[in-house]
Amino acid sequence: MPRDQRGTGPEAPAFGRSVPRREGRAKLEGRGEYVDDLVLPDMWFGATIRSRVARGKIEEIVFAKDVPWDEYVIVTARDIPGKNSVLLLLEDQPYLADGVVNHPEEAVLLVAHPDRHALERARRGIEIRTSPLPPLFDLEDSLAKKLVIWGEDNVFKAIDIVKGDVDSAFRDPSLVVVEGVYHTGAQEQLYIEPNGVIAAYDAKEGVTVWGSLQCPYYVHKALKPLFGLSPDKIRVIQMETGGGFGGKEEYPSMIAGHAALLAYKANKPVKLIYDRAEDMVATTKRHPSRTRHRTAVTKAGKLVAMDIDFALDGGAYATLSAVVLSRGAIHAGGAYECPNVRIKARAVATNHPPHGAFRGFGAPQSIFAVERQLDLVAKTLGMSPEALRRANFLQRGGHTATIQEVKEDPELDRLMQRAFELSGYAQKRPALTAQNAAAKTGRIRKGIGFASFMHGAGFTGSGEKLLGSEAAVEATPDGRVRVLAASTEIGQGTNTVFAQIVADALGLPYDAVEVAQPDTKFVPDSGPTVASRTVMVVGKLVENAAKGLKGTLREAGLLEDVYDHAAFRTACGAYLAKHAALKSVAKYQQPTGIVWDDKKYLGDAYATFAWAVYVAEVSIDLDTYATTVDDFWAIQEAGRIVHPILAAGQIEGGVAQGVGFALYEGVVWKEGRMANASMTNYIVPTAVDAPRIHVEFVEKDAPYGPGRGAKGIGELPMDGAAPAIAAAMEHALGIAVTRVPCLPEDLFALLEGGRS
């Protein structure tokens, strides 16, 4: 039915309308069921006994004599029925350390007891005696192979992207060459619900796990070899999940394995919930990075060559580092046209706990570097940062660093113009400069800065083709429609947008569609809930599945051209009177014209990009060295917006995490271990720290995604805040902020360090 014929009531098209969040009422009344809320009969509780040292040989495990060990179930690597490795990309990370430990807090033993309060006694009663091996904590030391701790050379993944001829360009004496080095720190996802899983084992049913997780089929894949069981003997159910941000992408496979091993040995369901300290100290964080830039530019400000060396600290095991590096490397050249680009990217091992997925997945690191570098280039040339950007923005027909032809029109000029209009950037920039100059003896300095950038939606390169995701839609005899997908609701609104998309595809009211709880027994593998792919990729699949279901009813002669909900209901009833099921499955088909060369790392890295310009306004207190973000504008193009309030919520939340990444969230490392693993000492933005965030979507049709085209937006906002804030700080103080987080003590060192 055409969009406009259903009016604005409950029958109106749902796409583009801020319908109520599907599970919102339950969450607001405290009825959402999270894993820790679930109690199974005769359930035991588990705990993980971890390494205290960064690297060493396990010599002996000593059990205190005064603990009644017969009450406990204890699991070591020797109890593992299948393979002791967490299957993801490589198989280097054990579920339980066997003989050696490679990072602090590595899991060595598991214990379970019927009384949760008895676990602490066991924890204190087990001593893991190790003989130390020399540890490696520094990224540069790892690159230089000062010590080899992983493989032959510490390198988890090496990527080299070459466009044009960088070396020739640098030999051109007419060009200006600018060099800079940039660093970003580890960042904790800090979802407010810590990680947790419940597992049960049954000889007939196999392993069942209920968990707080993003990717049910990652856990499913990881548990099969651990137990040597067939796929039908592993069942993974996602409970309501209290935030993920990447932090519940891969690590839940580890916890699920632990809980399942305990359940298997105890023959009881086992609940394994991390407390905050354990979650912070043991689970993954954003990869710390170092990026070197060497840029050759004409005196008029045209980029000629970019030579970029991008390195990530992957921690002790490979986990997802290869793909984090990939996204970071592909985004390292930014949203700019440059004929000659060389990106050398390396993810290397250290004896930190493995770093992992966190919103943005490598891009916030490399985009921080390229945006800061462009500001430095502008300053060197005596140009304004905006004039330099305008001279180099990617345009339709241009080519990214991977020589991907830009087929859409990014219109970054237009986004910048809009961002400047809303923020008053052009007036404020000189006004604040004058105000700062006049305030010589005052405490407060103010600045305004921006970043322009893009973020690729979906898996990189051939990733989506290899995933081959599926989603399904089914209907009941009374015309109720259910979406079956493994994409998880983790706060971002999956349930709501899937219901909207399917309602529109079937011409039904939003309330007529429900979304099934992700349970691998019932939902197909839609791939992981990551990479800004849920709306664009899986949303398109559920739309296709819904269209397929409608096609089935039409082909059966049960549905007219134009129909209402009652007629749909009748059609479903009639169909199901003759057939066992009314279900339609859609499988991902790579759109034509997407070509990626994984060997050369060139071609269409992403089906499409979202584009953005963000502006930050800051105040800096010269007595406390505290930086406050006073105001923030986030302007982006991400195709058509399915749900304006949810979409704005994604941007606002990502920006706030970016504010934390820039100004507050410093992980303190001590012998490879997070020393400030508590919410008292690791500071994220509170209600009084977060700026007012003004969000605007410049909407247009897009070639991919459901409806008239919708691009991924989950990660985009994480990329822009830190470089915009750093640029504003530089404007306020005239110093280069090349490293985030920039805490008050860091700013103090930057400003006063030279003087002492």
Partner 1 sequence: MSSIDLVVNGEKRRVEARPMERLLDVLREELRLTGTKEGCGEGECGACSVLLDGRLVNSCLIPVLQAEGADVRTIEGVEKTPTGKALQDAFLACGGAQCGICTPGMVLAAVYLLDKNPRPTGEEIRDGLAGNICRCTGYTKIFDSVAAAAKALHDEGSTR
What residue ranges bind partner 1 (CB under 8 A)? 18, 20-21, 23-34, 36-37, 189-194, 240-245, 275-276, 490-493, 645-646, 648-649, 652-657, 678-680, 684-688, 690, 692-693
CB of 664 to partner 1, least distance (A): 12
Q: Which is nearer to partner 1, 558 or 684 (CB)?
A: 684
Parallel, antiparallel, or unpaired: how do β-strands 196-202 and 270-273 relate? antiparallel
Q: 73-75 and 289-297: which strand pairing?
A: unpaired
Least CB distance to partner 1 at residue 116 (A): 9
Question: Looking at this protein, which amino acid is placed at residue 693?
Answer: I
Kindly provide the residue ranges of all beta strands, DSSP E only, lying in 458-568, ordered along the sequence: 470-475, 481-484, 513-515
* C-alpha–C-alpha distance, residues 571 and 574, integer Å: 5
C-alpha distances in Å from residue 689, one per residue of 188, 428, 664, 685, 686: 18, 22, 10, 5, 5
Written as six digits, the tokens of 75 are 């699991």
Peptide linkage before 591 cis (omega within 30 of 0): no
Task: Using the minimum distance from each CB to partner 1, give the nearer residue, 103 or 359.
Answer: 359
Least distance to partner 1, CB of residue 31, Å: 7
Please tell me the distance from the alpha carbon of residue 756 to that of residue 748, in angstroms, as a whole number.
Answer: 11
Cβ count within 10 A of residue 680: 7
- The nearer residue to partner 1, 686 or 756, going by C-beta atoms, is 686
Identity of the residue, 118 or 308, whose beta carbon is nearer to partner 1 in the bound complex: 118
Q: Distances from the Cα of 651 to the Cαs of 264, 441, 715, 722, in angstroms?
A: 43, 37, 9, 14
Q: Is the dihedral of CA 435, 438, 439, 445 positive or negative?
A: positive
- Shortest spacing between CB 451 and partner 1, in angstroms: 17
Q: Which is nearer to partner 1, 20 or 132 (CB)?
A: 20
Residue 35 Cβ, how far from partner 1 at the closest point, in Å?
A: 11
CB 142 within 8 A of CB 154: yes
In 3D space, the residue among 690, 707, 474, 727 whose CA is nearest the CA of residue 576 turns out to be 474
Residue number with CB closer to partner 1 (21 or 55): 21
Decide if 295 contacts 177 (C-beta within 8 A): yes
From CA 305, how far away is CA 320, in angstroms rounded?
30
Least separation in angstroms between CB 566 and partner 1: 28
Instruction: Give the residues across from 752 on adjacent strands.
Output: none
Q: Cβ 676 to partner 1, closest distance in Å?
A: 12
Question: What are 130's strand-pairing partners?
Answer: 58
Looking at the Cβ atoms of 174 and 680, the one nearer to partner 1 is: 680
Question: Which of 3/25 has CB closer to partner 1?
Answer: 25
User: Residue 375 Cβ, how far from partner 1 at the closest point, in Å?
Assistant: 25
DSSP label of 536: I
Q: CB of 714: closest distance to partner 1 in angstroms?
A: 11
**CA distances to 409, 451, 650, 736 from 612, in Å:** 13, 8, 14, 23
What residue type is 217 in one-letter code? Answer: Y
Contact indicator for 21, 496 with CB cutoff of 8 Å: yes
In angstroms, the CA 100 to CA 77 distance is: 11
Whichever of 293 and 694 has its CB closer to partner 1, that residue is: 694
Phi and psi angles of residue 625, each rounded to the nearest 5 degrees, phi first: 65, 20
The DSSP symbol for 74 reads E
Dihedral angle computed from the Cα positions of residues 485, 491, 492 and 496, in that order, rounded to the nearest 10 degrees: 60
Q: How far is the CB of 649 from partner 1 (least distance, A)?
A: 5
Asked whether 592 and 396 are in contact (CB, 8 A), the reply is no
Sign of CA dihedral 399, 402, 407, 409: negative
- Give the shortest CB-241-to-partner 1 separation in angstroms: 7
Closest to partner 1 by CB, 496 vs 627, is 496
| DSSP 8-class letter at 675 | T
Q: How far is the CB of 32 from partner 1 (least distance, A)?
A: 5
Q: Which is nearer to partner 1, 56 or 712 (CB)?
A: 712
**Rounded to an integer, what distance in angstroms lies between the CA atom of residue 525 and that of residue 217?**
6
| Least Cβ distance, residue 653 to partner 1 (angstroms) | 5
Helix (H) or strand (E) holding 312: strand 303-315
Pairing of strands 470-475, 481-484: antiparallel
Q: Shortest approach of partner 1 to residue 587 CB, angstroms?
A: 30
Residues near 88 by beta carbon (within 8 Å), at least 6 away in sequence: 218, 221, 222, 250, 253, 318, 319, 320
Cβ-based nearer residue to partner 1, 386 or 665: 665
Which residue number, 193 or 307, has a Cβ lying nearer to partner 1? Answer: 193
Select 32 or 744, whichever has its Cβ closest to partner 1: 32
Based on CB atoms, which residue is closest to partner 1, 85 or 496? 496
What's the chain's length in residues?
756
User: From the CB of 690, what's the least distance to partner 1, in Å?
Assistant: 5
CA neighbor of 160 nearest in space, from 458, 602, 606: 602
Comparing CB distances to partner 1, the nearer of 22 and 429 is 22
Closest by CA to 127, choosing from 80, 67, 84, 55, is 67
Minimum distance, C-beta of residue 130 to partner 1, in the bound complex (Å): 29
The Cα 364–Cα 324 span in angstroms is 11
